[in-house]
Amino acid sequence: MNQATTAPATEQPLVRAAMPAKAADRFIRNTWYVAMWSADLEPGKMVARTLLNEPIVFFRKEDGGIAAMTDRCSHRFAPLSMGKLMAGDRVQCIYHGLEFGADGKCVKNPHGNCTIPAAAHLKAYTVVERHTLLWIWMGDKTPDPSKIPDYSCLDDRPDLHITRPGYLSVKANYELVVDNLLDLSHTSYVHAGILGNADTVEADIKVEQTGDVVAVSRPSKNADTPGILKMMSPPGFERGDQWSTISWYAPCYMILEFGVSKPGEPKEKGTGYFALHLLTPETERTTHYHYSAARWNVLTEGDEKNSAIRDKIFEMRTFAFAEQDVPVIEAQQRLMDQSRTPLSPVLLAIDAGPTRYRRVLDRLLSEDARPQ
C-alpha cells in the first residue's frame, strides 16, 4: 500500500521564501524620477505605479503634501492601492484591515491582541511636486530637491503655449528610448515630413558635454521647414534656418530646443518650442514616458489660433512618438531579447550623442552603487 508522502498542511511554510534576487539592473537609485504628472493624482484617490521594479502607492495628504509608500502589504502582500484611503492619511489594507500612515508605519492591527510587529512597517518615499510633476527619490542617500532637473518652461509661460501632459507606456528599456531621443538623425527617416525631411539628412551633428550634461545639435541652413514648425509659423517660413539641440540630463531627462528662422535671420527672430521628454524606468523592459512642449517666441496671433496650434503640436508629437518611434523601439527590444548571442552595435557618426551619454551614465551608475 502506498504511503502518503505529502507533509501535513501545518508543516508547510506559511509564506514562500522570497524569489532569488534578480540580475542587477541599470537604474541609478539616488536621483529624482518623475512618478507622474501632478494632475494624475487627484485628492482622495490612490494611484499605483511601478517604478524601478518597486510597486508604489501615491495619495495626497490632508495637508496637500504627497504620500508614497510600498504598494505591497507586509502581511500577505496585497496591494494597498486596492484598499481604502481613510481620514487622517491612513490606508486600510483590503485583505485583513491592517492600517498604515502616510510615513509607511503600520498604525493598526485589528486582530488578536492588536500588537503591531516591527516588520509590519513599509518603506515610505520622499516626493516633491514641481513643474506640474511629482518627483520621487528612490535611493537610500539624502534627497536633495535642488537636483531636480529644470523644467521651469512648464511654469513660466501661459497655458496657451504649453501642450497638455502626455504619457505613453513603452515596452522597452529606458536606455533604448534615450538612444532614440538623443539621435536626432532618425527624424529624417522615422518622422519624415513631420519633424524632419530629406533636407535635414546631411546636417552636421555636434556633441558637447558640460559637466554631466550632453547636448547634441543638428542645425540646417535654408532647408525645407518640417511640418510641425511650418504649422506654428507665420507665412514666410516655408524654408528656413533650423536649430535642433537636445540636452540630456542624467539619468533620463531631455529637453529639445527646436525652431526655425527665415533664411539668414538670427534665431531671436524665429520661432519654435522646447520639447520636453521625461522617462522613468518601470522595469528593465518597460518605461513610463512623459512628454509636453512649450512654445518659444510665439509669432502667431490670436488666442483661438494659438490654442488650435497648441493642440495640433500635441497631436503631431503624440503621433510621432506613439505611431512612429515606439513601434521601432519596442521591436528593437524584442529582437535584442531574442538573440542567443550578445549583440554589439555597429557604430556610425550619428551615434556620437548616444555613445557620450552612455559613458556618463556608466560612471554615474558606479558612483551610485558606492555607500554614502
Residues in the site for Fe ion, rule: CB under 5 A?
325
CA atoms of 184 and 200, how far apart (whole Å) = 10
When asked if residue 75 is in the footprint of ligand FES (CB under 6 A), the reply is yes
> Which is nearer to ligand FES, 94 or 364 (by Cβ)?
94
Overall size of the chain counted in residues: 372
> Which is nearer to ligand FES, 94 or 213 (by Cβ)?
94
When asked if residue 111 is in the footprint of ligand FES (CB under 6 A), the reply is no
For residue 36, what is its C-alpha cell? 507622474
Would you tell me how many other CB atoms lie within 10 Å of the CB of residue 174? 24
When asked if residue 85 is in the footprint of ligand FES (CB under 6 A), the reply is no
- Which among Fe ion, ligand FES, none contacts residue 317 (Cβ within 5 to 8 A by kind)? none
When asked if residue 98 is in the footprint of ligand FES (CB under 6 A), the reply is yes
CA atoms of 158 and 145, how far apart (whole Å) = 25
Rounded to a whole number of angstroms, the minimum distance from the CB of residue 195 to Fe ion is: 7
When asked if residue 73 is in the footprint of ligand FES (CB under 6 A), the reply is yes
Q: With beta carbons less than 8 A apart as the criterion, state whether 131 and 35 touch.
A: no
> Which is nearer to Fe ion, 89 or 325 (by Cβ)?
325
> Which is nearer to Fe ion, 284 or 325 (by Cβ)?
325
Strand partners, 209: 214
Rounded to a whole number of angstroms, the minimum distance from the CB of residue 283 to ligand FES is: 23
Helices (H) and strands (E) in the chain, counts: 6, 18
Please list the helix, strand and coil fractions of the chain in percent, rounded to the nearest 5, in that order.
Answer: 30, 30, 40
- Which among Fe ion, ligand FES, none contacts residue 75 (Cβ within 5 to 8 A by kind)? ligand FES
Q: State which H helix or E strand residue 227 sits in.
A: helix 227-231
Q: With beta carbons less than 8 A apart as the criterion, state whether 258 and 139 touch.
A: no
CA atoms of 310 and 314, how far apart (whole Å) = 6
| Binding region for ligand FES (CB under 6 A) out of 70-78, 132-140, 271-279, 316-324 | 70-78
When asked if residue 96 is in the footprint of ligand FES (CB under 6 A), the reply is yes
When asked if residue 95 is in the footprint of ligand FES (CB under 6 A), the reply is yes
Site residues for ligand FES per CB under 6 A: 73, 75-76, 78, 93, 95-98
